C-alpha cells in the first residue's frame, strides 16, 4: 500500500504511537474518574437541591392560577436557576447529550411524588452558548403543566457540573502535550544509537575501512556496537591476510611463468612453440584477472565526485576509435560520487561483453529520482533466463559462444557486480526489445545531478 502507513516502520515511531495511545487513554480515564468523583461530591448537593426545587416549583405552579403564576415568578429565580412560564410557547428544537438526558430523567424521578410529568431538556439549537463539548453551557428544562402550558427552567452549567469542562480538557491537553514532547525526546535519544548502528552496517557493506561505530547508549547497544566493531576488524584482517597471500602467490606464479616463457624459446617446432606461448599468455591473463578480482582494489580507492556521463562517453569514444560499434545516449554531464577507477572497470567489462558477444553496445544513462540508471544493450544471442544469475558466479562461462577462445575467463560480470554492489547498486540482465541482451544497472545517490 502506497498510502500513509498507520503503523510506523521505525522503532522510535512505534514507541511513540504506543506511548501516546496509552497516555491518552490513561489521561481520559483519570480525568473522567476525577470529574465523576467531583460531580458526586461537591457538585451533587447543589445539583440535588436544584432538582428538588424544579420538582416542587412545577408541582406548585401546576395547581396555581395564571395570576398567581405571574406573581410568583420573580420570587422563584435564584443564581444559577431561572424560572419562566410559557403559556403559549412550546419547547423549541433542542440538541441533547448525555448530561441533558440525565437531567430530564432525574427531574421525572424527583417529580414522581407529585404525579407524572412530561419533561424536555437540552440545548436550544442556535444558542451560541451551547458549545456542546463543554458542560458550562446552560441547559433548558421544559415541564408540561396540566393546562398544556409549559414551565421553562434555565439551569446554569455551573449548577449542573459534568464529566468534562473546558478547564479540565485544557489541563489534560497540556499534560498530554508535555509528556508527548518528553516522549519524543526520550525515544529519539534511546533509538539514536540504533540508527547509527544501521548506518554503520550500510557503510561496512560499501567500505570495510569505514570508521568504527561509537560505543555509546544503553548497555545492550554498547555491547552490539562492540561486537560490530570486532566483526569489522576481523573482516579487515581477513582481507589483509588474503591480499598478502595473493601477493605472494602472484610473485611465485609470475616467476614460474617467466621461466616457462624463457624455455619455450628452445622448442624447435614453431607450431608447438606458438601453442605453448599462447597457453602461457592465457595463463597470464587468467592470473591477472583473478588477482584483480580477489584483490578488491576498490576497498582502498577513495570516493570522489566524478562525471558519470563523461566516463561512459569516453569508454564509448575509445571503442569507436578502435572500429567498434559503441553508442552513448544520455546527458552530456552528470555528477556522481563514487570510485572512478572501479566504476570505469565495471562499465568497461559490461561494454566489452556487449561488443564481444553482441556486435554492438548501446549505452544509455538516465537520471532517476533517487539515483541513476545505466543500460548496456547488444544484439547478440542473449542469455537464457535460467542462467542469468549463474553468469555472475566467478569463472562461470557460457558455452559455446562464451568459450575461453571467444571470451574471457568468466570474471567480467562478477567483477562488475562486485563493484556496483560496493556502491550500493544492483545489476540485472533482461531481454532487449528487438533481440539481444540488456544489462540494467541502478546506482543510488541523491547527489546525482545533471550539469
Give mean pLDDT, residues 224-247: 82
- Residues 412, 326, single domain; the answer is yes
- Residues 323, 280, single domain; the answer is no
Q: Are 106 and 160 in contact (CB under 8 A)?
A: no
Q: What percent of the chain has pLDDT over 70?
A: 80
Q: How far apart, in Å, are the Cα atoms of 142 and each of 6, 69, 259, 349, 385?
A: 47, 16, 118, 92, 83
pLDDT tier at 401, thresholds 50, 70, 90: very low
In 202-317 the beta strands, taken as DSSP E runs, fall at 304-307
pLDDT value, residue 439: 95
pLDDT value, residue 339: 87
User: Residue 5 class from Cβ within 10 Å (0-12 exposed, 13-18 middle, 19+ buried)?
Assistant: exposed
Give mean pLDDT, residues 27-36: 65
In this structure, is residue 230 part of a structural domain?
Answer: yes
**Which residues on neighbouring strands pair with residue 154, listed in sequence order?**
82, 140
Is the pLDDT at 447 greater than 80? The verdict is no
Q: Which of 255, 276, 295 is the last residue of a domain?
A: 295
Rounded CA separation 28/170 (Å): 12
pLDDT value, residue 139: 83
pLDDT tier at 311, thresholds 50, 70, 90: very high
Is the pLDDT at 270 greater than 90? The verdict is no
- Residues 282, 311, single domain; the answer is no
In this structure, is residue 87 part of a structural domain?
Answer: yes
Which one, of 354, 396, 357, lies nearest residue 375 by Cα? 354
Give mean pLDDT, residues 273-280: 84
Please give the residue that has the higher pLDDT: either 92 or 29. Answer: 92
User: Which of 27-41, 82-96, 127-141, 285-299 has the largest mean confidence?
Assistant: 82-96
Is the pLDDT at 204 greater than 50? The verdict is yes
- Residues 243, 266, single domain; the answer is yes
- Residues 286, 306, single domain; the answer is no
- Residues 283, 342, single domain; the answer is no
Give mean pLDDT, residues 229-233: 87
- Residues 282, 370, single domain; the answer is no
- Residues 230, 318, single domain; the answer is no
Relative to beta strand 304-307, strand 94-95 is unpaired
Per residue in 145-163, pLDDT (tens digit) is 888 899 899 887 655 554 4
C-alpha cell at 445: 545517490
Rounded CA separation 188/183 (Å): 8
In this structure, is residue 181 part of a structural domain?
Answer: no
In this structure, is residue 178 part of a structural domain?
Answer: no
Is the pLDDT at 346 greater than 80? The verdict is yes
pLDDT value, residue 46: 66
pLDDT value, residue 393: 84
- Residues 225, 326, single domain; the answer is no
In this structure, is residue 26 part of a structural domain?
Answer: no
Residue 392 sits in which domain range? 302-450
pLDDT tier at 131, thresholds 50, 70, 90: very low
Q: What is the CATH number of the domain that holds 445?
A: 3.30.565.10
The DSSP call for residue 410 is: S
In this structure, is residue 13 part of a structural domain?
Answer: no
Please give the residue that has the higher pLDDT: either 219 or 131. Answer: 219
Is the pLDDT at 52 greater than 70? The verdict is yes
Radius of gyration of the chain (CA): 43
Q: How far apart, in Å, are the Cα atoms of 61 and each of 82, 151, 154, 269, 338?
A: 14, 8, 16, 139, 93
In this structure, is residue 386 part of a structural domain?
Answer: yes
pLDDT mean across residues, the chain: 79
Give mean pLDDT, residues 72-96: 87
Which of 152-166, 264-278, 319-333, 337-351 is predicted least confidently? 152-166
Is the pLDDT at 377 greater than 90? The verdict is yes
Is the pLDDT at 438 greater than 90? The verdict is yes
pLDDT value, residue 41: 47
Q: What is the CATH number of the domain that holds 283?
A: 1.10.287.130
Per residue in 382-398, pLDDT (tens digit) is 899 888 898 888 777 77
Is the pLDDT at 8 greater than 70? The verdict is no
- Residues 313, 444, single domain; the answer is yes
Which of 149-153, 243-247, 343-347 is predicted least confidently? 243-247
pLDDT value, residue 409: 65
Q: Which of 137, 164, 191 is the last residue of a domain?
A: 164
pLDDT tier at 111, thresholds 50, 70, 90: confident
In 292-360 the beta strands, taken as DSSP E runs, fall at 304-307, 326-329, 334-338
Give mean pLDDT, residues 226-237: 86
Give mean pLDDT, residues 174-202: 76
In this structure, is residue 155 part of a structural domain?
Answer: yes
pLDDT value, residue 206: 63
The count of residues in the chain is 451
pLDDT value, residue 167: 60
- Residues 316, 247, single domain; the answer is no
Which one, of 283, 294, 290, lies nearest residue 404 by Cα? 283
User: CB-based contacts of 346: which residues, under 8 Å, 6+ apart?
Assistant: 415, 416, 419, 420
Domain total in the chain: 3
Q: Which of 275, 295, 315 is the last residue of a domain?
A: 295
Is the pLDDT at 99 greater than 80? The verdict is no
Cell numbers 566524478: residue: 306
Which of 110-114, 216-220, 259-263, 350-354 is predicted least confidently? 216-220
pLDDT tier at 325, thresholds 50, 70, 90: very high
Buried residues in 180-197 as b, exposed as e (16+ CB within 10 A) = eeebeeebeeebebbebb
pLDDT tier at 273, thresholds 50, 70, 90: confident
- Residues 107, 126, single domain; the answer is yes
pLDDT tier at 180, thresholds 50, 70, 90: confident
Q: Are 61 and 151 in contact (CB under 8 A)?
A: yes
pLDDT value, residue 450: 47
Computed from CA positions of residues 380, 381, 387, 388, in that sequence, does the dihedral angle turn out positive or negative?
positive
pLDDT value, residue 3: 45
pLDDT tier at 343, thresholds 50, 70, 90: very high
Q: What is the CATH number of the domain that holds 130?
A: 3.30.450
Amino acid at each position: 500500500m502506497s498510502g500513509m502507513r498507520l503503523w510506523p516502520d521505525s522503532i522510535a515511531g512505534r514507541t511513540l504511537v504506543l506511548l501516546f495511545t496509552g497516555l491518552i487513554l490513561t489521561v481520559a480515564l483519570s480525568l473522567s474518574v476525577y470529574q465523576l468523583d467531583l460531580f458526586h461530591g461537591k457538585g451533587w448537593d447543589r445539583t440535588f437541591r436544584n432538582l428538588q426545587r424544579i420538582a416542587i416549583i412545577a408541582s406548585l405552579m401546576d395547581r396555581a392560577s395564571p395570576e398567581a403564576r405571574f406573581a410568583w415568578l420573580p420570587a422563584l429565580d435564584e443564581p444559577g436557576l431561572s424560572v419562566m412560564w410559557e403559556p403559549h410557547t412550546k419547547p423549541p428544537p433542542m440538541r441533547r447529550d448525555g448530561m441533558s438526558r440525565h437531567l430530564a430523567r432525574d427531574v421525572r424521578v424527583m417529580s414522581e411524588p407529585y404525579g407524572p410529568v412530561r419533561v424536555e431538556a437540552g440545548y436550544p439549537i442556535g444558542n451560541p452558548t451551547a458549545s456542546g463539548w463543554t458542560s458550562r453551557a446552560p441547559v433548558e428544562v421544559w415541564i408540561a403543566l396540566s393546562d398544556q402550558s409549559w414551565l421553562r427552567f434555565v439551569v446554569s452549567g455551573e449548577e449542573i457540573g459534568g464529566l468534562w469542562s473546558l478547564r479540565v480538557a485544557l489541563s489534560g491537553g497540556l499534560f498530554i502535550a508535555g509528556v508527548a514532547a518528553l516522549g519524543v525526546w526520550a525515544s529519539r535519544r534511546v533509538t539514536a544509537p540504533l540508527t547509527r548502528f544501521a548506518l554503520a552496517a550500510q557503510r561496512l557493506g560499501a567500505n570495510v575501512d569505514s570508521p568504527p561505530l561509537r560505543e555509546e547508549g544503553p548497555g545492550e547497544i554498547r555491547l552490539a556496537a562492540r561486537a560490530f566493531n570486532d566483526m569489522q576488524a576481523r573482516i579487515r584482517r581477513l582481507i589483509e591476510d588474503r591480499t598478502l597471500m595473493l601477493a605472494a602467490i602472484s610473485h611465485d606464479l609470475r616467476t614460474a611463468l617467466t621461466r616457462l616463457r624463457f624455455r619455450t624459446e628452445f622448442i624447435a617446432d614453431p607450431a608447438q612453440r606458438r601453442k605453448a606461448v599462447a597457453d602461457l599468455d592465457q595463463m597470464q591473463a587468467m592470473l591477472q584477472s583473478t588477482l584483480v578480482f580477489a584483490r578488491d582494489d576498490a576497498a582502498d580507492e577513495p570516493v570522489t565526485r566524478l562525471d558519470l556521463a563523461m566516463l561512459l562517453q569516453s569508454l564509448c569514444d575509445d571503442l569507436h576509435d578502435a572500429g567498434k560499434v559503441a553508442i552513448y545516449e544520455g546527458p552530456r554531464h552528470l555528477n556522481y560520487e563514487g570510485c572512478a577507477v572501479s566504476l570505469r572497470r565495471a562499465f568497461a567489462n559490461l561494454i566489452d561483453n556487449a561488443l564481444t558477444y553482441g556486435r554492438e553496445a548501446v549505452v544509455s544513462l538516465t537520471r532517476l529520482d533517487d539515483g541513476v540508471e545505466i543500460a548496456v544493450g547488444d544484439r547478440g544471442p542473449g542469455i537464457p533466463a535460467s542462467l542469468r544469475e549463474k553468469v555472475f558466479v566467478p569463472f562461470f562461462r557460457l558455452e559455446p559462444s562464451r568459450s575461453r577462445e571467444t571470451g574471457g575467463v568468466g570474471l567480467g560480470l562478477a567483477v562488475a557486480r562486485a563493484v556496483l554492489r560496493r556502491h550500493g547498486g544492483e545489476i540485472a540482465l533482461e531481454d532487449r526489445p528487438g533481440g539481444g541482451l540488456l544489462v540494467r544497472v541502478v546506482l543510488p545517490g541523491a547527489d546525482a545531478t545533471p550539469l
